[in-house]
Each structure stands twice: as structure tokens, then as C-alpha cells.
């Protein structure tokens, strides 16, 4: 499994700003062949990624999706609409969506099904809200993951993002903690009777939570860390390119 390194710009980058951002980023990543990269932009800027990144190795996607393919859902965006824009990835279940919009584990699972139904890969964000011991966070992680049983493991990425490590002023998780958490996620995936241990190994488990250029190396050195999901640091395309180019010790 090659490394998977990507970013979500959250509610940043207008279509004009996204065009300028991608015009800088694309040549900076032109030499990257040993790992996969992606950029998740706001709905209004996805068409820019399709136009600016066509023919490159950088893939693009969306930050959310509605669980239904069509219907009377004013203001929502469906998976077929995203697939039509060439999206490869769709993020679902981010802590901010769960917190601000009351998204449940059941709704997140329904969104995963919709994404996969349209031939895209779902990036499912999981993680504990408060810093606690592994024995205490395991049930929380299991609750978030158990409804994914039965999903296509070949079109599934799990992003471990502890809420306490996200946002301005947050304390980054130590690499050793991240490695242990990824092992716990992997064990929970393998414990699914529907997936089984062999298929669960095809699920990439990536880390997101205050990832910065100077901290990427130690994170990638941890066994079980299959890549990185970068937040605000990647709003600088040069910083994101530096993270992508981080050698694995």
C-alpha cells in the first residue's frame, strides 16, 4: 500500500483562490510518484480542481455528501453530482460536521454507502473528543467503525482525527500515540465479522490533526500510519508540498 497524503481546505478557497492555489501546487508535486495525493475543496471549487488538475497525478474530491442520490433536498449535493465532477474521494464524518450539524454514526455510514455506490472512495473521519486512555477511547472508536461493516474495504479510507488535536491552539498528538491509535483502529476493523482481517488490511488508515511539515516524518515512521490528512498547514501549497515530499525514515 503506497502512502496516501491529502488535504481538506475546509471552508476556505473561493474558486478564484483555488485556481491560484492549484496552479502553484501542481508543479510542486509533479515529481511525486511513490505516494498518492489528493485535495478536497469546497463544493463551489471542485470544478476548478477538475480543470486545473486534469492529467496530473493529484486527485480531488469533496468534503461532504448527501446520503440520497437525488430528491427534494434543497442545498445538498449528491454523490452522483460529485462523481460527475471527477471526484475520487469524499470526506464524511469529520468532527466538525458531527459537532456543528449533529451528524450521527448512522448518517455517516449512509453517506459512505452513497459514496461507494457512485464509485468513489469514502474517507471516514473517526476519533475521540477528549484525550483519554486507550481503554477508554476504544469503545468510542468501535462505535464509529462498527456501522461500516459491510462497506467495500477497497473504497474505504479511515482518517484517525482526535478532536482534541484539531484546530488552532490544539496540542498535536504524539507520534507514539498515533501509532497505537492506528493499531487499535486496525484491530477494530479486523474484528469485523463482515470484513475479516484480510480485507481490513486493504483499508488505508491515515492521520489528521495539526499535521505540520516538521512533524510529518515522525508520524509517517510509525507502523500502521498509511498516510496523512493535512488541515490548515496545507493552505500554504508550499507547506503541503513539503509534507508530501517528507521521506519515510
- Looking at residue 190, its pLDDT comes to 86
Residue 196 has pLDDT above 90, yes or no: no
Q: Which of 94, 95, 128, 222 is labelled catalytic?
A: 94
Residue 197 has pLDDT above 50, yes or no: no
Read off the pLDDT band of 193 (50, 70, 90): very low
- Looking at residue 195, its pLDDT comes to 46
Distance CA 105, CA 118 (A): 20
Residue 13 has pLDDT above 70, yes or no: yes
Residue 79's φ and ψ, nearest 5 degrees, are: -60, -45
pLDDT winner (highest mean) among 103-112, 136-145, 170-179: 103-112
Q: Name all domains of the chain by residue range, CATH numbers in brackets.
A: 3-244 (3.20.20.70)
Which one-letter DSSP state was computed for residue 106? H
End-to-end CA distance of the chain: 17
Task: Give tens-digit pLDDT for 117-163.
Answer: 999 999 999 999 999 988 899 999 999 999 998 899 999 999 999 99
- Looking at residue 227, its pLDDT comes to 98
Q: Are 226 and 205 in contact (CB under 8 A)?
A: yes
- In the chain, the percentage of residues whose pLDDT exceeds 70 is 96
- In the chain, the percentage of residues whose pLDDT exceeds 90 is 85
Q: Confirm whether 94 is a catalytic residue.
A: yes
Q: Confirm whether 66 is a catalytic residue.
A: no
- Looking at residue 210, its pLDDT comes to 86
Distance CA 60, CA 47 (A): 10
Q: How far is CA 142 from CA 60, 107, 201, in A?
A: 29, 16, 17
Q: Are 206 and 159 in contact (CB under 8 A)?
A: yes
Read off the pLDDT band of 224 (50, 70, 90): very high
Residue 17 has pLDDT above 50, yes or no: yes
- Looking at residue 192, its pLDDT comes to 59
Q: How do beta strands 89-92 and 58-62 pair?
A: parallel
Distance CA 32, CA 138 (A): 35
Q: Find all residues with CB under 8 Å of 201, minimum gap 6, and list them.
A: 186, 190
Residue 79 has pLDDT above 60, yes or no: yes
pTM for this prediction? 0.94
Residue 20 has pLDDT above 50, yes or no: yes
Q: Which of 36, 91, 103, 161 is labelled catalytic?
A: 161
User: How open is the CA angle 196-107-119, to the nearest 5 degrees?
Assistant: 60
- Looking at residue 201, its pLDDT comes to 72
Closest by CA position to 206, among listed 189, 169, 181: 181
The average pLDDT across 89-110 equals 96
Distance CA 68, CA 79 (A): 8
- Looking at residue 194, its pLDDT comes to 46
The average pLDDT across 50-60 equals 98
Is the model more confident about 12 or about 199?
A: 12
C-alpha cell at 145: 467503525
Q: Find all residues with CB under 8 Å of 220, minimum gap 6, and list them.
A: 3, 227, 228, 246, 248, 249
Amino acid at each position: 500500500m503506497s502512502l496516501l497524503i491529502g488535504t481538506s481546505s475546509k471552508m476556505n478557497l473561493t474558486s478564484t483562490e483555488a485556481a491560484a492555489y492549484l496552479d502553484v501546487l501542481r508543479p510542486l508535486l509533479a515529481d511525486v510518484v511513490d505516494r498518492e495525493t489528493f485535495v478536497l475543496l469546497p463544493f463551489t471549487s471542485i470544478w476548478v480542481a477538475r480543470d486545473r488538475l486534469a492529467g496530473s497525478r493529484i486527485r480531488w474530491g469533496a468534503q461532504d455528501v448527501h446520503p440520497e442520490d437525488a430528491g427534494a433536498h434543497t442545498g445538498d449535493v449528491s454523490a452522483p453530482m460529485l462523481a460527475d465532477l471527477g471526484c475520487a474521494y469524499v470526506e464524511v464524518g469529520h468532527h466538525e460536521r458531527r459537532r456543528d450539524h449533529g451528524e450521527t454514526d448512522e448518517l455517516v455510514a449512509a453517506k459512505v454507502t452513497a459514496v461507494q455506490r457512485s464509485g468513489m472512495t469514502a474517507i471516514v473521519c473517526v476519533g475521540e473528543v477528549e484525550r483519554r486512555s486507550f481503554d477508554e477511547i476504544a469503545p468510542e472508536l468501535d462505535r464509529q467503525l462498527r456501522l461500516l461493516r459491510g462497506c467495500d474495504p477497497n473504497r474505504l479510507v479511515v482518517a484517525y482525527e482526535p478532536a482534541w488535536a484539531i484546530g488552532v491552539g490544539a496540542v498535536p498528538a504524539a507520534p507514539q500515540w498515533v501509532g497505537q491509535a492506528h493499531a487499535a483502529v486496525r484491530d477494530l476493523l479486523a474484528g469485523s465479522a463482515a470484513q475479516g482481517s484480510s480485507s481490513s488490511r486493504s483499508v488505508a488508515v491515515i492521520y489528521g490533526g495539526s499535521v505540520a511539515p516538521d512533524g510529518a516524518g515522525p508520524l509517517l515512521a510509525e507502523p500502521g500510519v498509511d498516510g496523512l490528512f493535512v488541515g490548515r498547514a496545507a493552505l500554504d501549497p508550499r507547506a503541503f508540498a513539503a509534507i508530501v515530499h517528507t521521506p519515510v525514515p
